[in-house]
Amino acid sequence: MKVAIQGELGSFSHAAALRLTPKAQIVPCAASLEVFEAVVKGRAGAAVIPIENSLAGSVTEHFDLLLSQPVCVRREYRLRIAHALIASPGTQFRQVKRVFSHPVALQQCREFFRENPQIRPEPFYDTAGSVKHILQQDLRDAAAIAGVHAASVYGGQVLRRGLEDDKRNFTRFFLLRPAAGTRPLPGADKTSIAFTLKNLPGVLFRALSVFALRDIDLCKIESRPMRGRPWEYVFYVDFRRGADQAMQNALRHLAEISESVKVLGTYPAA
């Protein structure tokens, strides 16, 4: 099976994909939309995307795409993220004036830049892709932040390790499949949904009460702006429940209160 990822081989998405689908053929994509379209249009049977980091927070673009694209979450995986500073062979740390990496990775290494104000962070589309870029261009004043595996894949030199602000740095990944005809896996005990509400007094309280009344444990709630409707929001919720009767009743109750409800997936909790 082909599995699409956002980024190059050697990226953290690549590592997560190999753990979620060990025998898959990995298909690197430059942009997040390409990853989703690869699944929707049949160019890949599945995709692996980062959805949330324990230091930098949510990958908001992926929340928006989960809502708009006909895919569903099949599994989740939590990957320990350890960042390294990688440069072309022979480059010295004192030569480095700029560092390329994915914006989320740069956010996870704020202390490094605070301690080294002479180094400028530069956003790039991917962690491993930034290593590939500086090596292909032979940039002697630049380095990249990525996992050490990217250094071995592209022949880079590790200048420093452990750049992340906190060692308890994890990224949560989703395995996605086409939504049509997909049923939850055996043992699925966690559900992700998105819903919208009319702007009325107490409506969010009423929406959340459908879970509290049934002792369903909410483990995440987040709001995102709705495109084309300023100051209105989509609510994303994760809760610890599979597709049992209590969950079905809660969703039916929520549908009576909400403008729209979309189940993003029911899957085994990591």
SS3 labels along 212-223: HCCCCEEEEEEE
pTM confidence score: 0.91
pLDDT of 71 > 80? The answer is yes
N residues, the chain:
270
Give the DSSP H or E segment for 15.
helix 12-20
- State the pLDDT at residue 227: 86
- Which residues belong to the active site? 171, 173
Average pLDDT over residues 177-181: 89
Where do the DSSP E strands lie in 44-189? 46-53, 57-58, 71-80, 84-87, 98-101, 120-123, 142-146, 157-161, 170-178
Q: pLDDT category, 182, cuts 50, 70, 90?
A: confident
Residue predicted with more confidence, 267 or 183: 267
- All domains of the chain, ordered by start, with CATH? 2-81+169-178 (3.40.190.10), 84-161 (3.40.190.10), 190-267 (3.30.70.260)
Q: pLDDT category, 116, cuts 50, 70, 90?
A: very high
- State the pLDDT at residue 181: 76
Average pLDDT over residues 260-268: 97
Closest CA to 184 of 248, 235, 236: 248
- State the pLDDT at residue 134: 96
pLDDT, one tens digit per residue, over 132-154 is: 999 999 999 999 999 999 999 99
Percentages (nearest 5) of helix, strand, coil residues in the chain: 30, 35, 35
Token output for 116: 């080294």
